């Protein structure tokens, strides 16, 4: 049965339509295998070749991938929620309630969006702890650690901007407090708050600005940095695995005398 | 002709600026000006010129409607109107810590912030909590119709009362 399926799949891979989409062609040589990845826009961010010991199971595996997974869930559920949400005061609150009580599966989507957001923040921290305690921030990966810190900030900003959108009391006062914290920045603080809110109070302008930041600007910036993050993993020699590399890669002198 | 050109090139070389360098500088300068212009444009675009926010001047009604020895919060205007023995005064009810709306607690004779626990006297002086400053006094006056007016954008030093 399996052989038959494999035969059909091989035939499919040989068809003209398939070849027009995937240009690597049929075959199972190492070259073909690597080309299948290198010539795929989605897989090209990943390593062409992965060491076997890096695929060995351990308890904290895939935290970065899971973070990307929650980002994917948030993108899909977020786009669906946008179909019923007007970023205008006071309509936004009514839309949120409609999503909960009127729209089919609206409650589910809203909860999925919210819980995925919580999960993403948790996973980002867990991922960073793992990277830190495994020493995977050390050269040559130090720049990717910095990219990761930027991604942490973007994640927190996405959470913060999303907090205002339900336009309820919690949202209003949380953003009032948060924007006042921003105004504590020396010299430019008040101006930063004014630009952030588009006014002196949390009102319709602030709601619209946070909406655009939450749904458009921050996700696009996040996507850009995620792409750089993954690309750097390849360039820096793949994921870090214990015992797969010397303790410190870039030293001026050998850590121990050669045997 | 060739001599003249050679001289020009020589002069340019002496001044440390040949044609290529000149155009590079022109290009970079133009980009710099464009970047500065973009920054100025961005800043101006993001700063609203017209705000549809409530007027800072609010009418708080007839003085008789406030009992002697009372502290009244107007939630919409976000101010306290205090009527004491010395007269009337207005306090900004927005906490000086992080901008939450404070509330009057008559049972403990205190203005309290629900967010982080700052407490103030009815004169706005901080009693406890993280608030860095007292609640500001706001300019208050009587309109020609004899109604109490408050300018929320105009903070005044404490202990200036309106006597009716």
Q: Which of A43-57, A69-83, A229-243, B63-77 has the lowest mean pLDDT?
A: A43-57
Domain-located, residue B163: no
Does residue B127 form part of some domain?
yes
* In-domain check, residue A157: yes
For residue A251, the model assigns a pLDDT of 47
Domain assignment present for A159: yes
Tens of pLDDT along B106-163? Answer: 999 999 999 999 999 999 999 999 999 999 999 999 999 999 999 999 999 998 999 8
Q: SS3 string of chain A?
A: CHHHHHHHHHHHHHCHHHHHHCCCCCCCCHHHHHHHHHCCCCHHHCCCCCCHHHHCCCCCCCHHHHHHHHHHHHHHHHHHHHCCCCCCCCHHHHHHHHHHHCCCCHHHHHHHHHHHHHHHHHHHHHHHHHHHHCCCCCCCCHHHHHHHHHHHHHHHHHHHHHHHCCCCHHHHHHHHHHHHHHCCCCCCHHHHHHHHHCCCCCCHHHHHHHHHHHHHHHHHHHHHHHHHHHHHHHHCCCCCCCCCCCCCCCCCCCCCCCC
Q: Given this model, what pLDDT does residue A257 score?
A: 52
Q: For B34-57, what is each residue's pLDDT tens digit? A: 999 999 999 999 999 998 888 999
Query: Can you give the pTM of this predicted structure?
Result: 0.80
Model pLDDT, residue A11: 85
Residue A53 falls inside a structural domain:
no
Which pLDDT score, from 0 to 100, does residue B11 have? 59
Say if the ipTM goes beyond 0.90: no
- Of residues A173, A195, A199, nearest to B100 (C-beta): A173
Does residue A19 lie within any of the structural domains? no
Mean pLDDT along residues A42-69: 76
Of A9-13, A103-107, B101-105, which range is least confident?
A9-13
- Cα distance between residue B145 and residue B153, in whole Å: 22
Query: Does B40 share its domain with B98?
Result: no
Asked whether residue B69 falls in the same domain as residue B146, the answer is: yes
Least confident range from A99-103, A113-117, A165-169, A237-241: namely A237-241
A5 in any annotated domain: no
Task: Collect all residues of chain B within an 8 Å Cβ-Cβ radius of residue A188.
Answer: none
Is B28 in the same domain as B103? no
| Residue A91 forms part of a structural domain | yes
Residue whose tokens read 């022109």: B26
Contact state of B53 with A200 under an 8 Å Cβ cutoff: yes
- What is the domain count for chain B? 2
Rounded Cα gap, residues B143 and A46, in angstroms = 73
Kindly identify which residue of chain B lies nearest to residue A181, measuring between CA atoms. B98
Average pLDDT over residues A211-217: 97
Report d(CA A27, CA A176) in Å as an integer.
Answer: 61
Q: Name B71's bridge partners.
A: B82
With respect to residue B161, please indicate whether it lies within any of the assigned structural domains.
Answer: no
Has residue A80 got a pLDDT over 70? yes
**DSSP annotation of B134:** P
Q: What does B19-72 look like in DSSP terms, one character per residue? A: HHHHHHHHHHHHHHHHHHHHHHHHHHHHS-SS--PPPSEEE---GGGS-TTEEE
The mean pLDDT value for A129-152 works out to 90
Percent of chain A with pLDDT over 70: 85
| Same domain (yes/no): B64, B99 | yes
- Is residue A186 included in any domain, yes or no? yes
Give residue for tokens 């696009």.
Answer: A220
- pLDDT class of A3 with cuts at 50, 70, 90: confident
Which element (helix H / strand E) includes B5?
helix B2-14
Q: Give the minimum alpha-carbon distance from B52 to chain A in angstroms, rounded to a whole number.
A: 9
Q: Which pLDDT band holds residue A14 (cuts at 50, 70, 90)?
A: confident
Q: Per the domain annotation, does B141 fall within a domain?
A: yes
Which among A176, A179, A198 has the least Cβ separation from residue B48?
A: A198
**Closest partner CB to A205 (pick from B48, B98, B99):** B48
Same domain, B98 and B117: yes
Tally of CB atoms within 10 A around A69: 15
Helix (H, G, I), strand (E, B) or coil at B123: coil
Question: In chain B, what is the straight-line distance between the N-terminal and C-terminal CA atoms, in Å?
Answer: 95
Strand partners, B110: B105
Asked if A240 and A58 count as a contact pair (C-beta separation under 8 A), the reply is: no
Q: At residue A13, does pLDDT exceed 90?
A: no
A7-16, A43-52, B55-64: the lowest-pLDDT one: A43-52
Sequence-distant (6+) residues with CB within 8 A of A206 are: A164, A175, A179, A196, A197, A198, A199
User: Would you tell me which residues 52-71 of chain B have a C-beta closer than 8 angstroms to some C-beta of chain A?
Assistant: 52-53
Q: Decide if B103 is inside a domain.
A: yes
Let me know whether B68 and B102 are in one domain.
yes
Q: In chain A, what residues touch B43 (CB-CB under 8 Å)?
A: 195
Statement to judge: residues B68 and B139 lie in one domain: yes
Structural domain tally of chain A?
1
Taking an 8 Å cut-off on Cβ atoms, the answer to whether B100 and A200 are in contact is: no
Q: What is the CATH number of the domain that holds A70?
A: 1.20.810.10
What is the number of alpha carbons within 13 Å of residue A23 lying toward its C-beta? 4
Contacts of A200 in chain B (CB under 8 A): 51, 53
pLDDT in tens, B5-28: 666 656 555 667 889 999 999 999
pLDDT at position A158: 97
Instruction: Give the residue numbers spanning the domain of A167.
Output: 64-235
CATH number at B67 reads: 2.102.10.10
Is A15 contained in some domain?
A: no
Q: Tell which B residues from 22 to 41 touch A, by Cβ distance under 8 Å.
A: none
The predicted pLDDT at position A58 comes to 67
Residue B97 shares a structural domain with residue B22: no
C-beta separation of A106 from A100 below 8 A: yes
Task: Answer whether B46 touches A (CB < 8 Å).
Answer: yes
Total H helices, total E strands in chain B: 2, 10
Asked if residue B6 and residue B35 are part of one domain, the reply reads yes
Kindly report the nearest CA distance between residue A175 and chain B, in angstroms.
10
* Token pair listed for A49: 């070749």
Tell me the chain A residues in contact with residue B131 when contact means C-beta distances shorter than 8 Å: none
The 10 Å CB-count burial string (b at 16+, else e) for A209-223 is bbbebbbeebbebbe
Whether B141 and B153 have beta carbons less than 8 Å apart is answered as: no
Residues B66, B140 within the same domain: yes
Interchain CB contact of B106 with A (< 8 Å)? no
Question: Cα–Cα distance between B90 and A162 in angstroms, integer?
Answer: 36
Burial of A174 (0-12, 13-18, 19+ CB in 10 A): middle
Distance from CA of B27 to the nearest CA of A (A): 28
Q: A176, B100: Cβ pair inside 8 Å?
A: yes
Residues of A in contact with B100 (CB under 8 A): 173, 176-177
Tell me: do B77 and B140 sit in the same domain.
Answer: yes
User: Using one digit for the tens of pLDDT, what is the confidence trace for B87-98?
Assistant: 999 999 999 999
Check whether residue B95 and residue B149 sit in a common domain: yes
Question: B129 lies in which domain range?
Answer: 57-156
């Amino acid at each position: 049965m399996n052989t038959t399926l494999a035969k059909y799949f091989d035939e499919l891979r040989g068809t003209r339509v398939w070849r027009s989409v995937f240009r690597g062609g049929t075959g199972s040589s190492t070259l073909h295998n690597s080309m299948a990845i290198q010539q795929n826009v989605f897989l090209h961010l990943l390593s062409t070749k992965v060491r076997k010991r890096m695929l060995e199971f351990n308890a904290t595996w895939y935290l970065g991938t899971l973070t990307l997974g929650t980002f994917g869930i948030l993108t899909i559920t977020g786009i669906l929620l946008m179909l019923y949400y007007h970023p205008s005061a006071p309509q936004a609150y009514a839309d949120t309630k409609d999503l909960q009580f009127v729209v089919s599966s609206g409650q589910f989507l809203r909860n999925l969006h919210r819980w995925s957001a919580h999960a993403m923040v948790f996973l980002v921290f867990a991922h960073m702890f793992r990277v830190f305690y495994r020493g995977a921030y050390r050269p040559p990966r130090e720049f990717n650690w910095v990219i990761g810190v930027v991604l942490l900030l973007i994640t927190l900003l996405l959470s913060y901007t999303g907090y205002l959108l339900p336009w309820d009391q919690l949202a209003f006062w949380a953003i009032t407090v948060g924007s006042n914290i921003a105004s504590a920045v020396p010299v430019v603080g008040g101006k930063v708050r004014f630009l952030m809110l588009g006014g002196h109070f949390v009102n319709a302008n602030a709601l619209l600005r946070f909406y655009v930041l939450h749904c458009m600007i921050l996700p696009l910036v996040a996507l850009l940095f995620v792409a750089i993050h993954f690309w750097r993993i390849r360039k820096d020699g793949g994921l870090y695995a214990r015992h797969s590399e010397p303790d410190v890669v870039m030293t001026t002198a050998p850590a121990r005398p050669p045997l | 002709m060739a001599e003249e050109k050679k001289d020009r090139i020589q002069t340019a070389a002496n001044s440390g600026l040949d044609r290529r360098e000149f155009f590079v500088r022109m290009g970079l300068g133009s980009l710099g000006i464009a970047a500065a212009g973009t920054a100025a444009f961005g800043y101006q675009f993001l700063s609203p010129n017209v705000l549809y926010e409530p007027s800072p001047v609010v009418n708080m009604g007839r003085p008789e409607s406030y009992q002697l020895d009372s502290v009244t919060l107007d939630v919409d205007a976000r101010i306290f109107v205090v009527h004491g023995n010395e007269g009337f005064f207005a306090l900004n009810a927005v906490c000086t810590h992080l901008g939450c709306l404070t509330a009057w607690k008559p049972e403990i004779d205190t203005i309290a912030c629900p967010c982080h626990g700052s407490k103030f006297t009815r004169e706005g002086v901080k009693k406890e909590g993280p608030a860095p400053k007292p609640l500001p006094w706001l300019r208050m006056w009587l309109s020609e119709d004899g109604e109490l007016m408050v300018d929320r954008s105009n903070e005044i030093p404490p202990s200036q009362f309106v006597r009716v």
